[in-house]
Amino acid sequence: MPDRVEFNLSRVPVFVDPVRRRPGIRKQNPFRIIVLALDRALGDFAAVLCFAMSVKAQFDHAKLLVYYRNDRPYKKPILDVCADIDEVIEMTGSDSLPLDILDAAAHAPFPPPETWRHHETAWNRSHLVILPHMARYQNLGQFDPAARFRFTARDAEVAAKRLRESGVDPDRWFCVMHYREPSYQNRRPQPMRDVETTDYEALMNWIIDHLGGQVVRVGHAEMRPFAERPGYVDLAPLGDADFMLHLFAISRARFVLASNSGPGICGSCFGTPTAMCNNPATFGVWNSQDAVMMSHIIAPDGRRVSHGVAHKREMHFVAAVQHLNDLGYHTVLQSLDELRRLAAVMHERTTDTPGWRTQWYETERLDRPNRFEASTDPIMRATLVEFEDLAPGDGSIVLA
């Protein structure tokens, strides 16, 4: 017999079988996620990205691709503050990608993007495709904490300089204010959500004079202007064209106070404590430091339906509120006194932020489960706030 040749074990190749262990544990087999960010509304678009990044954070190794249509001016700025996205596929005009490119085995009948089947990305072999309805803000409470938007150090430096030049004192705290007006060209009027602007102008003055802060208003260029005064900075005239500065202000605010609208949802996306008021049905905040005030439901006899009853009877969704109107009920938005009390609550809740925000509340997850199990029940982490002594109505309908 010929002499036996010794073979060094180190020369034996090592492979990674993609089906031997579940994806996400090893770098060579990341958990691949595709999110179809098909929403056009600002808040919905922001929430679906935050949800997708939160799923990615459940794994030691994961890759995230965003498919979106560039049909709103605020979409690119939002994508720019999503550091956990690995690749973006942008559609314009009537272009779109066919579902056939998800064929994991054979050659798709349509040419996919150049990196689609590359061995390092292999998006055609993704493990999860997130659809918009899976990623509503109501579902973000299942993450503790959820992922958040972030500015890079370089972008933050540039934006901070611009915010100072806009008139915001860098040595004092400020709150960001936004409310929904019916004049925005990309969203139709919604009487249940559109607010009385004079109350918010009075609230702005009260925050400056009584709480000692500054107020930065964000929004769209068609918003009714407030009277100029020291401590008030209006970014709304900049509109969508400079939405990145709006986002930076939200990220550095002591707190955000917003009616039910997209900029308020961005507050939660950044981890900035956010109070969302005038919510006729669903609300768009999900962090434990956030606060929620629902619109008041007034019964035909003039009494207010307490939040406890409304919650138990499941009245707070759009179809229910619309049907209640047919039955003689109506909704009432928060009064100026309630808005002031809410601002005071947020001011007290954020005493750790005497200036521009420099700290956030999420913690680094060290024990990633390397799995994602979608919660079937929305988890409420924000505080539901109700000031019964300020509530409208001729008495209240309460739980027995």
227 and 188 together in one domain: yes
> For the segment 330-346, what is each residue's pLDDT rounded down to a tens digit?
999 999 999 999 999 99
The answer to whether position 343 is within a domain reads yes
Q: What is the pLDDT of residue 396?
A: 92
The answer to whether position 9 is within a domain reads no
CA dihedral for 294, 300, 304, 305, sign (positive or negative): negative
DSSP string, 313-371: TT--SHHHHHHHHHTT-EEEPPPHHHHHHHHHHHHHHTTT-SSS---------SS--S-
193 and 134 together in one domain: no
One-letter amino acid of 73: P
Please tell me the total count of domains within the chain: 2
Q: Which residue has the tokens 């956990």?
A: 84
Q: Which residue has the tokens 């979409």?
A: 75
* Alpha carbon distance 232, 234 (integer Å): 7
133 and 162 together in one domain: no
pTM, two decimals, is 0.92
Radius of gyration of the chain (CA): 24
> For the segment 349-369, what is each residue's pLDDT rounded down to a tens digit?
999 999 999 998 877 777 899
Domain extent, residue 171, equals: 153-397
CATH code of the domain in which 378 resides: 3.40.50.2000
Structure tokens at 113: 């993007």
219 and 124 together in one domain: no
Q: Residue 238 above 70 pLDDT? A: yes
93 and 242 together in one domain: no
186 and 66 together in one domain: no
* Alpha carbon distance 187, 365 (integer Å): 38
Three-point CA angle 321, 337, 137, nearest 5°: 45
> For the segment 270-315, what is each residue's pLDDT rounded down to a tens digit?
999 999 999 887 788 999 999 999 999 999 999 999 988 998 899 8
> For the segment 155-199, what is each residue's pLDDT rounded down to a tens digit?
999 999 999 999 999 999 999 999 988 665 656 655 666 688 899
87 forms beta bridges with 65
37 and 120 together in one domain: yes
206 and 342 together in one domain: yes
197 and 133 together in one domain: no
Confidence of residue 102 (pLDDT cuts 50, 70, 90): confident
316 and 186 together in one domain: yes
113 and 172 together in one domain: no
228 and 191 together in one domain: yes
